[in-house]
Structure 1
Amino acid sequence: MKPPTPAAEDYLKTIYAHTEWQPEPITPKALADRLGIAPSSVTEMVKKLAASGLIAHVPYGPLTLTPAGRMRATAVVRRHRLIETWLVRELGYTWDEVHDEAEVLEHSISDRLLEAINTHLGRPTADPHGDLIPAADGSTTRVPAVLLAEATPGHTGTVLRVSDRDPAVLRAVADAGIGPGSAVTVVDAGTVRLAAGALHPLTAEVAESIWLTS
């Protein structure tokens, strides 16, 4: 079997990422929306991925990765998140700047360079946004988490992850002094109390982008 193309790898990575923090599998329409492409293009690629044994799919139903597809997806995710970590730690990028760079580099750097980066960084287990970096065998160790927007008032937890889908949200979170490892107490859906005692209001979009320890 020929290795997946960069476009196919982007599909697999997106399908994988969709269920990292919630259990519902992705639909073809949601996949098209996430990738910003026409549903007809998704239909064609889904057929190719299914024929290659990388996804399981029934017409009009949700998409799930086969074991082979999951292994390929985690390999791409591992590359992407190690590159993001490298760009932030070593090259002075901020966490809202790295996604697009990693999208390009993940398909081009060699396995040897990737492992050199991994070793140089001390084999990190999470990227700057708190997303887990799969091990070479595809495994991850997840901590139980709750979305801040769904946490009950009075809940105190540590920020595990901030979604990197919107750079503006990342900048707003950084301006609030919040990031992975921050301790916060939920006052209500729109307000948190930081460890130092300061109250900080959050937009609904920001509250929907932060995961806390449960």
Structure 2
Amino acid sequence: MRYLMLACVLVASSLLSGCGYNAIQSKDEGVKAAWSEVLNQYQRRADLVPNLVNTVKGYATHEEEVFTKVTEARAKVGQMNLTADDLTDENKVKAFQQAQGELSSALSRLMVVSENYPQLKADGLFQNLQAQLEGTENRVTVARNRFIQSTQDYNTFVRQFPQNLTAMMFGYKAKANFSVENEKQISTAPTVDFSKPAPPQPAPQQQPAQPQPEPAH
């Protein structure tokens, strides 16, 4: 009896392996791990925002609209709670990506404003935050790329026969992925560089002098 049970277990394991169950489970765990790293890096970026805004505020007191947009974008990101179990919901993934994109745009605008304040660029705290932000943006890009690749690999596998039958039997669904309009944009981190001076503003063009009327004779 004992040997019969062992034989049944071995046969069942062989069948599951042949149908791709083990590979599906492994690829699913890979997607979850990649997603966890995406969340970690985005959180690191969000954690930098308050100190970054407060530091810039100390020098750029007339940029309240920019500060408000950054703060609001960070608050919206903080309201997003997208777990690995939610990755099958395309709408939730799109909403998450949009919120992170809005924060990226707001931070880019803040960086442009910072270029106009030389004393801010020379501030030690600001330089430290700049270095942290640059490093975090690079890690975000790497984490996103890994998630995209692992999700593509998983989705391709579970849609093929006979793995699609195994996936359907055990509830493994295809997952939503990040959508990008420009593939180069996703593989290249945004440039955060305050070592270069801001480009000079073009001088206003002078209007040509109007010809003087000749005196009447």
What TM-score do you get using the length of structure 1 for normalisation?
0.24
Q: Which has the larger radius of gyration?
A: 2
Query: More helix by proportion, 1 or 2?
Result: 2
What TM-score do you get using the length of structure 2 for normalisation?
0.23
